[in-house]
Structure 1
Amino acid sequence: MWDGAVVDRSGVVLVERTSVRVDGRDRTFTVVSPHEVVPGAPVVLLFHGSNQTAEVMRAFAGGTLDRFAEHGGAVVAYLDGYRRNWNDARVSSAFPARRDGVDDVAFTRAVVAHLRERFAADPAQVHAVGFSAGGAMVIRLLHEAPALLAGAGLIGATQPEPANLMAFDVEPEPVPVVLFHGTKDPLVPYDGGMASLWGFRPRGLGLSARATAAYFAARNGITAEPVSHDLGHGPEDARTTVERTDYRQDGRSPVALYTVHGGGHVIPNPKKAVRIMGRSTRNLVAADALGEFFGLKTG
């Protein structure tokens, strides 16, 4: 259903709070759209990190993820997790969403159906982007509902170790995947290992960021060696540098990894990060890199 609640208006986008009913629960999300959506518009779904909300993620990214609607004509949906988290791909999950058997894949499908009905958005152009635990939820979508996705973005999230990955009875399908990860991420180690909240509440073992990129490249049938490019640093920030590693092969869905050397557990954007999360970077805006990878305008 659409509850018709308009939270905010600007000269560029319309922001609405709305909900859909899934398995007897009202699930909420925030929609950012152009004032006039062109039928067949692409969709960008955004999944927040642990203990965040849709609005917190929107602010955490410095408003940059709204650019898909502002400049690209996309319909952007920031989804709210159940009690601020997700029933994601990790066996080790102890979040209420797992304990209460919440079906976040069904929630995702219901949001896509809502956007199709409300805006005539294109269900064949659905891109899912997740930060941290939200990235783990996108990993679940990649394994359980790959046909739903035209592209996926993982920010500060890595593929669970095989013993920590839930079993999925779905045939793999190629999906373009782009990853962003800081080498000094204090919560989800860039080099793999135990994810946690600064050493507390362990979240299970994960692969390294590079191994995660290689995993999805192999899943997409890419056998060519990856190629890395040092994107360096800009004049305003010499404390972080950015490296892009591309896995590409003709006829295969690509994979790219942006490594932020010196970066922390953040969504790269011009806004200064909270110190406890580690350093952000002015040398990369994740929204713009996502837009380039997905073929969506952000500026």
Structure 2
Amino acid sequence: MTTSPDPLTSQDTRTPVALTRDSVTLDGLERTSTVLGSTDSPAARPLVLVFHGSRQDADSHRRFTHDALLPLAASGQAVVAYLNGYRGNWNDARRESAFPARLRGVDDVAFARIMVDRLSASHGIDPHRVVTVGYSNGGQMVLRLLHEAPELVAAAVIVAATMPTPESFLSSETAPPARPTPIALVHGTHDRIVPFDGGTMSWWARRMFRVGGRTLSAPDTAAYLAARNGIVGRPELQPLPHLATSHGRTSVVRTRYSAPDAPDVTLYEVRGGGHTIPGREPSPRVVGRTTGDITLEDLVAEAVRRS
């Protein structure tokens, strides 16, 4: 790993944050990441693995989210690792994906495992407290990890991604049994790229992002994941307060699946929201409206606490 000579500074804590660049060779490919958090902090910190969206990389995704997770690293609550996909994408579990990572058969599950091992050695993270965070194509990658490497994921936050339908899902026949996992999902009802109601993406999105197939709706995705956690009862719906500091004309309804002795699955339905990440700063207008009534930082911090 190489360390940046100019540590980042969290605007929330005013604390410098060590930034390192990691590189590893896997199946003949150089795989890279950006890691926030010092190597000499107390051991057994949780690890947050972040998977960017299509046509992004680790650093552009950090900028896209306005460094929302920097305070977690600055405060020592977790090490945050932004992983880089292959040529801007992840080899997710959608059968009809046709971007380079799929066509080359890139093993992103192995990449995630290797990064947990490397950061256990270099940063002293607790390999049993790994929180996976994914946006769009990165969210699809987290869904793949939940199915193919459930032992790796202690908690998950998935933004703007939904489960492929069975015929479009590339699940391994030798996949391990489901592991009950606390999961938070965020999805905008006006998402023009990944439809809230499921089905197929619009023709221009399929062409631009080189994906296809059908997906479940966001509510059906939450119900499916809840069933994997052993939760079969009706969920609890609750409108969340609209904060005075929130931007945009959106509102949030929380749908929570819970049961005794089972981790919750929670869907945050952003009414009027687009293909965006919730936070204090809006996403670019081209991807739709952003809610500030919930934030990525708070959702990930809660996932870290529950990991």
TM range (shorter): over 0.9
Kindly tell me the number of residue pairs found equivalent between the two proteins: 295
Which residue among 300, 303, 306 is the counterpart of 1:290? Answer: 300
Q: 2:12: which partner in 1?
A: none
The answer to whether the 8 A contact 1:184-1:190 is kept is yes
Q: 2:6: which partner in 1?
A: 8
The answer to whether the 8 A contact 2:93-2:170 is kept is yes
Q: Which moved more, 1:237-246 or 1:148-157?
A: 237-246
Structure-2 separation of matches of 1:8 and 1:138:
31
Q: Tell me by how many angstroms 1:290 deviates.
A: 2.5
Q: Tell me by how many angstroms 1:193 deviates.
A: 1.4
- Tell me which amino acid in the other structure corresponds to 2:281: K
The answer to whether the 8 A contact 2:200-2:212 is kept is yes
Q: 2:90: which partner in 1?
A: 86
Cα deviations by residue, 1:41-95 (Å, 9 ceiling, x for unpaired): 1000000000000011111111112222123521100000000101101111111
Q: 2:290: which partner in 1?
A: 280
Q: 2:79: which partner in 1?
A: 75
Which residue among 236, 254, 264 is the counterpart of 1:254? Answer: 264
Matches within 5 A, 1:1-299: 2=1, 4-6=2-4, 8-9=6-7, 10=9, 11-34=15-38, 36-168=40-172, 169-170=174-175, 171-196=177-202, 198-201=204-207, 202-236=211-245, 237=247, 239-295=249-305
Structure-2 separation of matches of 1:240 and 1:165:
32
Gaps of 5+ in 2: 10-14
Cα deviations by residue, 1:110-137 (Å, 9 ceiling, x for unpaired): 1111100101110000010100000000
TM-score (norm 2): 0.91
The answer to whether the 8 A contact 2:39-2:124 is kept is no
Structure-1 separation of matches of 2:67 and 2:290:
15
Structure-2 separation of matches of 1:249 and 1:127:
21
Structure-2 separation of matches of 1:109 and 1:196:
34
Structure-1 separation of matches of 2:301 and 2:199:
30
The alignment yields a C-alpha RMSD, in angstroms, of 1.8
Q: Tell me by how many angstroms 1:199 deviates.
A: 3.9
Q: Tell me by how many angstroms 1:197 deviates.
A: 7.4
The answer to whether the 8 A contact 1:87-1:98 is kept is yes
Q: Percent same amino acid among aligned pairs?
A: 45
Cα deviations by residue, 1:127-170 (Å, 9 ceiling, x for unpaired): 10100000000011000000111011110000001111012222
**Aligned-partner SS, 1:125:** strand
Q: Tell me by how many angstroms 1:206 deviates.
A: 0.8
Structure-2 separation of matches of 1:209 and 1:132:
12
